[in-house]
Amino acid sequence: MKTVLITGSSSGYGLETARHFHAKGCNVIATMRTPRADILPRSDRLRVLALDVTNHDSIAAALEAAGPIDVLVNNAGIGALGAFEATPMTTVRELFETNTFGVMAMTQAVLAQLRARRSGVVVNVTSSVTLARMPLVAAYTATKMAIAGFTASLALELEEFNVRVKLVEPGYGPTTRFTSNGGQRMEGSIPEAYAPFAQRIFAGIGQTTVVTTERDVAEAVWRAANDETGQLRFPAGPDSVALAQARL
């Protein structure tokens, strides 16, 4: 029975992924900054641990409590929407700390045990912003593009040790907390000069009917974690799949 550790499990994709892996019979370690056991099933195969992926001591403590794992799902992330001109560099650095350096730190922290056992999988959840150009998310896109490149290189590096590394690329998920969890970061992010352009973009997003659900992402993460074909990228959601196919 495999043990999977999932970051960012308090809501959205991470929460549904934790539920999905548990339903499939795995031992699940659901991590989040502020643990909430009430949002997941009570089970001797499921534990909730505190984890802040931007804090070295928090990572070390969580992994010590978790014990050996077979699958790491790097899902924790934060969002920001707005004109780059109005995005403070403190916000850009905050995005990179969680979305990029947090993923790298978690991955580095588990590699020794996976390499020694010559087995295991790391699944990095990015975004469909890596598949097509999208406006008003320049800094966010940069954090996700960095992980796309990191994952592609690392996958080759770890083939020698039979450790697999995968990318899951979710599409637009209107039911997630992308906007709400970035509220403070997005204050004043649309200057007056950008307002007409932003209004057109937001109007188009509001009319979008093909979207990604939490279930789409959980199923894609499951496929990625169990894939042995060498496939690197797993678009999640019909909109992301369409973008991926358009690139072929």
Q: Give residue 44's identity as a one-letter amino acid code.
A: D
Phi and psi torsions of 10, nearest 5°: -80, -20
Q: 127: which 2 tokens? A: 């975004």
Q: Decide: 144 and 130 in contact? Cβ < 8 Å.
A: yes
Separation CA 195–CA 201 (nearest Å): 10
User: Could you say which of 13, 140, 172, 194 is catalytic?
Assistant: 140
Neighbours of 96 (CB within 10 A): 17
Q: Decide: 9 and 2 in contact? Cβ < 8 Å.
A: no
Separation CA 20–CA 225 (nearest Å): 12
Separation CA 99–CA 209 (nearest Å): 27
172 is catalytic: no
**For the chain, how are helix, strand and coil distributed in percent, rounded to 5?**
50, 15, 35
Helix ranges (H only) for the chain are: 12-23, 56-66, 89-96, 102-117, 138-158, 195-206, 214-226, 238-246
Neighbours of 156 (CB within 10 A): 10
**Residues noted as catalytic:** 140
